[in-house]
Amino acid sequence: MDSTAVAPPVAAATRPALPIPASIVPLRGLPVVGVVIAALIAAIATNKPWALNFFHVAGGGAWTALDLFLGLILGPVVRSLAPPARAEFTARYMPKMLLIMPTLVTMTLGSGFQLARHFDFLNTAYPRHGYIVASMIVVGVMAVIALGVLQPAGVAVLYELRKPQPNVELVGHLMKRYMYSAGITGVMQVATLVIMTRLPT
């Protein structure tokens, strides 16, 4: 009989069965973002109203719809999930949002400001100038929420999920913060809709 003792395999600390984000920012999506930004720059440089309108309407529509959907529909659903399920959802969802949202915001605001210049809406003599200032205030509030709360929570979640032993409770806590702030920006988007529909009427 072989007297050599074979040590039983030591139970390694197992990572929760969560997908690991390959990178914080999905690199495969960067060329698409690059093309969109290049097209936006071309639209602004040529000052073509159709192209500016396209970027403003397409970007603004998608941004508003996403914010409302995330904050008011998806948010409550995710909050009701068990922490591991919430973490799994987050691991697949968050990297995409890290590219999609800043791109949509850049499209909308860049083309929107240029459109306002083009049609002289920025001029204080414009009868509805107050609405333009109100839209700047709404965007300012949304920017503070997005840059001060939403984005840091999103990146922190991705860092946590790339650890060998991610803290599922922390991921759930950060996601809750993310969804609440998305809800607030979603409600603020309603104010944007009111302002934007008041401008041409």
Partner 1 sequence: MNERRLPPVQQLGVVSMILTIVSVIWLASYIPKHPPLTVSVVLMILAGVVMATNLTMLSRVQEFAWPTFRAVAGWTLVAYIVIAGMLEFVFLYDHVRGAVLLLMTLSLVSFAVNVPLLLGFGVARYQ
- Residue 38 is a binding residue for partner 1 (CB under 8 A): no
Q: How far apart are CA 35 and CA 123, in angstroms?
A: 32
- Residue 152 is a binding residue for partner 1 (CB under 8 A): yes
x/- mask, partner 1, residues 96-135, rule CB under 8 A, reads: --------------------------xxx----x--xx--
Consecutive H or E run containing 20? none
- Residue 22 is a binding residue for partner 1 (CB under 8 A): no
Region 165-184 residues binding partner 1, contact defined as CB under 8 A = 167, 169-170, 173-174
Sign of CA dihedral 195, 196, 199, 201: negative
Query: Using CB atoms within 10 A of its CB, is residue 108 exposed (0-12), middle (13-18) or buried (19+)?
Result: buried
- Residue 155 is a binding residue for partner 1 (CB under 8 A): yes
10 Å Cβ neighbour count for 5? 6
Q: Which of 39/72 has CB closer to partner 1?
A: 39
CB of 59 to partner 1, least distance (A): 16
Q: How far apart are CA 146 and CA 150, in angstroms?
A: 5
Nearest in space to 161 (alpha carbons), one of 171, 172, 151, 173: 171
Q: Quote the tokens at residue 97.
A: 């949002």
- Residue 159 is a binding residue for partner 1 (CB under 8 A): yes
Q: How far apart are CA 41 and CA 107, in angstroms?
A: 9
CB of 95 to partner 1, least distance (A): 14
- Residue 30 is a binding residue for partner 1 (CB under 8 A): no
Distance set, CA 119 to CA 1, 52, 122, 200 (Å): 93, 12, 8, 11
- Residue 144 is a binding residue for partner 1 (CB under 8 A): yes
- Residue 42 is a binding residue for partner 1 (CB under 8 A): no
- Residue 140 is a binding residue for partner 1 (CB under 8 A): yes
CB of 159 to partner 1, least distance (A): 5
Summarize as ranges the residues that interact with partner 1 (CB under 8 A). 122-124, 129, 132-133, 136-137, 140, 143-144, 147-149, 151-153, 155-156, 159-160, 167, 169-170, 173-174
